[in-house]
Amino acid sequence: MSTDSTVYIAGLGVISAIGNNVAEHLAAFKNEKAGMAGITLLDTIHQGKLPVAEVKLTDKELIELTGLREHNSRTALLSLMAAQEALADAGISNFKALRTGLVSANTVGGMDRSEDFFVKFLADNTKGKLKNVYDHECGSMTETVADKLGISDFMTTISTACSSSANAVFYGARLIRNDVLDVVIAGGADALTKFTLNGFNTLMILDEAFCKPFDENRKGLNLGEGAGYVVLVSDKVAKTLNKPMYCKLSGYNNSNDAYHQTASSPDGTGSYLAMQGALKKSGLQPSDISYINLHGTGTPNNDSAEGTAVKRVFDPVYPPMSSTKSFTGHTLGASGGVEAVFSALAIKHKIIYPNLRFETRMNELSFEPEKKFLTDQPVNHIMSNSFGFGGNCTSLIFSAV
């Protein structure tokens, strides 16, 4: 392990339904403007029925902005948009001379391209080009982006459902702490597809209105899409940069309660273990946490389980908390990366995000989320939760430098 194993965040990049870059996201939060709307880009039978949080750019526009070729998946396009912004923001002039890596997460891969292919192919088996789908697996998204960013030392893909990119962030941090790499771009991306929309609809956990995380009358989640990446750097690299670091990654933990394929355990065992483990790793007490970015999907099961776990860790004194999925929808494999960016921004700008549309406190809880956008807050340590299917639960802790 290197002499100073502190891992800093030097750059941020994000794209979601509320903005195409970091600045647009800050403006959307300030104006309390959510990204959910009717479906416009996805060709689905659910158009006009289910709200989603779509990135407001077509594939064609994303191709022009990223310089990627035509047959790339929307997942890869979104990934490259955010990763390029993060790398530019970090401003590492000797990037090529360092040991660099990309740890990227996604759950849907190139499913959008496969769906297009099979519609044409099934109608006429002489139609549809196989080259458009031969690389639709999750790993191909990472390879495409690593190639474009000029990363050749290390690259890997993580796919652990909704905790995917939170796991990517802490795996990246471990690579730096163990002196394997100097710089890691870590996070994830996911695009909306018919496959995911139909799948979540089958689980009967989609809300037909805009989602209300942590509200007693919540009905389910709204699916979103997007990408979020942080540039993690070693202490040695941080000292060479002509800019202040956003924060450091001080704690992380992944726990799996393996309770059910899609449901969280009722007493939030995995969530509790993840939060406790992250606190232990960071050497912090629950009272040190300034804000919790809740996983907060808006489903009856998730919010109840997560709420129970938060109660177990923090009762009786709760920090401010909210679910930013009330803005972005649930971006699945991207959510941990997107919310890592939000956490770093909250520390830098001393802000706390509101939990939109919250009205009624959940009966079983003695706390409720923040309802307004708050500025000039003492934000020193943020806990960001990402809890996935199969009980795969991850908590990250970001701390002011």
Average pLDDT of 27-49? 96
- Among candidate residues 138, 162, 247, 393, the one labeled active-site is 162
Q: Give the sign of the dihedral formed by CA 234, CA 78, CA 344, CA 218.
A: negative
Mean pLDDT of 200-227: 97
Q: pLDDT band at 152, cuts 50/70/90?
A: confident
Residue 125 is predicted with a pLDDT of: 85
Each residue's pLDDT tens digit, 97-135: 999 999 999 999 999 999 988 888 889 888 877 777 878
Q: Is 136 a catalytic residue?
A: no
Q: Which of 25, 46, 136, 330 is catalytic?
A: 330
The mean per-residue pLDDT over the stretch 127-155 comes to 90
- Burial code of 199-231, b = ≥16 C-beta within 10 A, e = fewer? ebbeeebbbeebbbbbbbebbbbbbbbbbbbbb
pLDDT given at position 4:
67
Encoded tokens for 86:
């993060």
> What pLDDT does residue 2 have?
44
Rounded to an integer, the average pLDDT of 229-243 is 97
For the question of residue 260 being annotated catalytic, the response is: no
Please compute the mean of the pLDDT values over residues 155-170 and round it to a whole number: 97
Say yes or no to pLDDT of 382 above 70.
Answer: yes
Q: Which of 25, 295, 381, 393 is catalytic?
A: 295
- Summarised one tens digit per residue, pLDDT across range 2-15 is 446 899 999 999 99
* pLDDT tens-digit map of 323-353: 999 999 999 999 999 999 999 999 999 999 9
pLDDT at 1 over 80: no
295 is catalytic: yes
pLDDT band at 317 (very low <50, low <70, confident <90, very high): very high
**Which residue did the predictor score with more confidence, 76 or 121?**
76
> What pTM, to 2 d.p., does this model score?
0.97
